[in-house]
């Protein structure tokens, strides 16, 4: 199979390229969930591309991990747009007159919008389907919740560290830890709903495009040409 001619290959190249450029041209720190989720996405789809070329297949490596990566990066896009940017349109910033601002805005656009949308498109358009069982949902939401918990623990243990609270919903300074716990609970429910939606999309796509059984092959050694085994000794003149 010429993998490089398939839409799966080029969409995943675009995912890796967008994430790589977005992380390199902007000021991104590992303490932020955006940076972590994009690095995970970059590593996963970089490995998928290697697998596809090496195995000459369009199926991704570690397909059960693909669902988790998709959820994590979609969370990045949604939190950025609705909680950090208050739903503002990011497109005008891409043509800002100041070059430095324009580069920064492009970097943020790539890691907050382009990569999540491309990964979501990959999940919707391409299989394999029904690889992740519903019980995986609980595992999927562990990473974003663990990120929040470790961020709060980091702020408590190292109170003078820079970017002590990477996101406002992790900061108990104004509303206290009870408020932060409420934010965790609310976000956990939202993440679970998003994960369930992704699994639902996967099931719906499987119904709309069911896998067609492979037709019998005419190649030597195929099931269609298999010679049944004989019982008893071979007769004279027959191969033993």
Over residues 152-188, the pLDDT tens digits come to 999 999 999 999 999 999 999 999 999 999 999 999 9
* pLDDT, mean over the chain: 89
Question: What is the token pair recorded at 35?
Answer: 């940076």
Residues 157/166, Cβ–Cβ less than 8 Å: no
Q: CA 104, 107, 109, 113: dihedral to nearest 10 degrees? A: -150
Distances from the Cα of 146 to the Cα of 35, 40, 154, 189, angstroms? 15, 15, 12, 14
The structural domains of the chain, with segments of one domain joined by +, span 3-210
The pTM assigned to this predicted structure is 0.86
Question: 128: cis peptide before it, omega within 30°?
Answer: yes
Q: Residue 83, class by beta-carbon neighbours within 10 Å (0-12 exposed, 13-18 middle, 19+ buried)?
A: middle
Distances from the Cα of 6 to the Cα of 17, 53, 119, 227, angstroms? 17, 11, 16, 37
Residue 56: count other Cβ atoms within 10 Å of its Cβ: 10
For residue 209, name the pLDDT band (cuts at 50, 70, 90).
confident
- Alpha-carbon distance of 90 to 77, in angstroms, equals 12
Total residues found in the chain within this entry:
240
pLDDT one-digit tens code per residue, 52-102: 999 999 999 999 999 999 999 999 999 999 999 999 999 999 999 999 999
What per-residue confidence (pLDDT) applies to 169? 95
């Amino acid at each position: 199979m010429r993998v490089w001619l398939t839409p799966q290959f080029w969409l995943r190249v675009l995912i890796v390229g967008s994430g790589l450029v977005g992380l390199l041209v902007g000021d991104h720190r590992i303490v932020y969930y955006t940076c972590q989720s994009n690095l995970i996405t970059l590593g996963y789809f970089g490995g998928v591309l290697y697998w596809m070329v090496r195995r000459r297949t369009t199926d991704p490596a570690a397909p059960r991990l693909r669902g988790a990566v998709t959820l994590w990066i979609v969370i990045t896009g949604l939190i950025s747009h609705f909680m950090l940017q208050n739903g503002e349109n990011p497109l005008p910033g891409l043509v800002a007159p100041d070059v430095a601002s324009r580069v920064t805005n492009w970097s943020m656009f790539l890691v907050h919008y382009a990569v999540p949308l491309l990964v979501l498109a990959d999940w919707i358009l391409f299989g394999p389907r029904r690889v992740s069982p519903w019980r995986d949902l609980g595992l999927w939401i562990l990473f974003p919740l663990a990120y929040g918990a470790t961020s709060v623990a980091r702020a408590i243990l190292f109170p003078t560290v820079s970017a002590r609270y990477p996101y406002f919903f992790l900061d108990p300074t104004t509303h206290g830890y009870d408020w932060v716990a409420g934010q965790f609970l609310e976000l956990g429910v939202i993440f679970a709903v998003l994960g369930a939606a992704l699994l639902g999309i996967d099931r719906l796509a499987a119904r709309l495009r069911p896998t067609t059984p492979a037709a019998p092959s005419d190649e030597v050694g195929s099931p269609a040409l298999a010679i049944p085994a004989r019982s008893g000794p071979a007769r004279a003149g027959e191969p033993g």
